[in-house]
Amino acid sequence: MLEILGIDIGGSGIKGAAVDVDSGRLLASRFRIPTPNPAKPRPVAETVAQIAHHFAWNGPIGCGFPAVVQAGVVHSAANIHNKWIGVDAQTLFTDACACPVTVMNDADVAGLAEMAFGAGKGRQGVVLLITIGTGLGSALFTDGHLVPNTELGHIEIDGVDAESRASDAARQREELSWKSWAKRFNRYLSTLEYLFSPDLLILGGGASKDYQKFLPHLQLQCEVVPAQMLNEAGIIGAALAARPTPAAPGS
């Protein structure tokens, strides 16, 4: 059994747990700490270290982070403090925790969990996961391989950033009924369907628990299913992201 600490960094809370990455099972109850406000690099790193300390962790750690992350470096700040842009989050967290830390986009790691243990398990072709919450996150897979950092919540539809109208935050802010919001969300998903022709569309994130209230109102050509990993997807996927890469044959 390979154990890795998975940490999910969100806008309101940072939570983690040890994960058996062979089974996708949490080995302990989640531990959550409110996200610092403002969520600048140093306070967030200290909070991540608190979670590692809570578990007396001494091993690999995976973190899901709400931004474009390339080789551990943060390159966007749509839903986080702009002080993060250009920060090597992987090195920052590794130093703070005194453990090796792998950092990836938060929707991408949720997608890893769904593909390994959830609604996408065993599915080939093009699979697209959309996380519905404060924003809209995305994870795109082709034959099981991740295309990282797609950030499709920020495509423009009618000249407007999609998540500003179709996220769950927009539904709550404008006090829309589920049916009214579903029309907006369907427009967004229809645009993605036109662009990527997915074989399977998985709906995750916080709003996915209410899928019965809006799924019947969606009209799409592809198969649409709710995510199965729910609140654990970010933690499990983050742990999966930190799995050791198998050595190449003959190395």
**Mean pLDDT, rounded, of the chain:** 95
Average pLDDT over residues 77-92: 93
Q: Which residue ranges does the chain devote to CATH 3.30.420.40?
A: 3-106+234-241, 119-228
Query: Does 249 have pLDDT greater than 80?
Result: no
Predicted confidence at residue 246, as pLDDT, reads: 59
Fold annotation for 119-228: Nucleotidyltransferase; domain 5 (3.30.420)
Q: What would the two tokens of residue 215 be?
A: 């799924």
Q: Return the CATH number of 3-106+234-241, one of 3.30.2020.30, 3.30.1330.200, 2.40.160.210, 3.30.420.40.
A: 3.30.420.40
CA distances from 194 to 148, 214, 215, 227 (A): 20, 21, 19, 22
Q: What is the pTM of this model?
A: 0.94
Residues 39-50 pLDDT 10s: 999 999 999 999
Least confident window among 100-104, 236-240, 246-250: 246-250
What angle (nearest 5°) sits at the alpha carbon of residue 85, between those of residues 81 and 88? 115
Encoded tokens for 210: 């209410």
Please name which of 97, 115, 113 lies closest in space to residue 14, comparing C-alpha atoms: 97
Q: Are strands 13-20 and 25-26 parallel, antiparallel or unpaired?
A: antiparallel
DSSP, res 132:
E
Angle at 238 between CA 22 and CA 37, to 5 degrees: 150
Give CA–CA dist 230/243, Å, rounded. Answer: 21
94-146 pLDDT, tens digit per residue, is: 999 999 999 999 999 999 999 999 999 999 999 999 999 888 999 999 999 99
CB atoms inside a 10 Å sphere around CB 56: 6
